């Protein structure tokens, strides 16, 4: 395998119109996660968990929203840039989630364990949505390359 001196020459072009479905998938994932978490709190009949859930919802939403920006940048370019953007997005989401958790615990005096545990579904929902979207996009690009 020969490494190209110009990565742009061999760049895999992504199909247009990928940004809105990605953003919609991320929003749906966050809404479903919030709904399932709220349903769990209702089923457990633990009203004391609403406050930690609100902190987890805010932190998870901010982290996911911030991680969308690198993905939008990558989606408007080639597959190589999208892969890089996905790694940046995952790291950014992790930093914001960890920082938000520390801020909630230290500054907001939220209980550490409930907020941390409730943050995990939001983090993983965004991660799974992002990975599933990337895999689906890579498969469609691979199929398009086979046809041409």
The domain segmentation of the chain, as residue ranges, is: 50-140
Per-residue pLDDT of the chain (148 residues), as tens digits, is: 444 444 554 456 666 778 888 899 999 999 999 999 999 999 999 999 999 999 999 999 999 999 999 998 988 888 888 889 999 999 999 999 999 999 999 999 999 999 999 999 999 999 999 999 888 888 888 887 788 7
Q: What is the pLDDT of residue 75?
A: 85
Q: What is the dihedral of CA 44, 54, 126, 16, to 10 degrees?
A: 130
Who's near 7: CB < 8 A, 6+ residues apart?
80
pTM for the whole structure: 0.82
């Amino acid at each position: 395998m020969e490494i190209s001196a110009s990565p742009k020459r061999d760049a895999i072009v992504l199909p247009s119109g990928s940004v809105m479905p990605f953003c919609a998938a991320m929003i749906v994932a966050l809404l479903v996660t919030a709904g399932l978490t709220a349903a769990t709190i209702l089923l457990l009949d633990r009203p004391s968990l609403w406050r930690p859930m609100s902190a987890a919802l805010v932190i998870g939403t901010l982290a996911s929203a911030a991680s969308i920006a690198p993905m939008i940048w990558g989606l408007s370019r080639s597959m190589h840039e999208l892969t890089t953007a996905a790694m940046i997005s995952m790291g950014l989401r992790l930093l914001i989630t960890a920082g938000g958790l520390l801020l909630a615990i230290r500054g907001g005096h939220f209980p550490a364990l409930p907020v941390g545990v409730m943050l995990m579904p939001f983090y993983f929902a965004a991660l799974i949505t992002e990975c599933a979207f990337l895999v689906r996009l890579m498969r469609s690009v691979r199929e398009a390359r086979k046809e041409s």
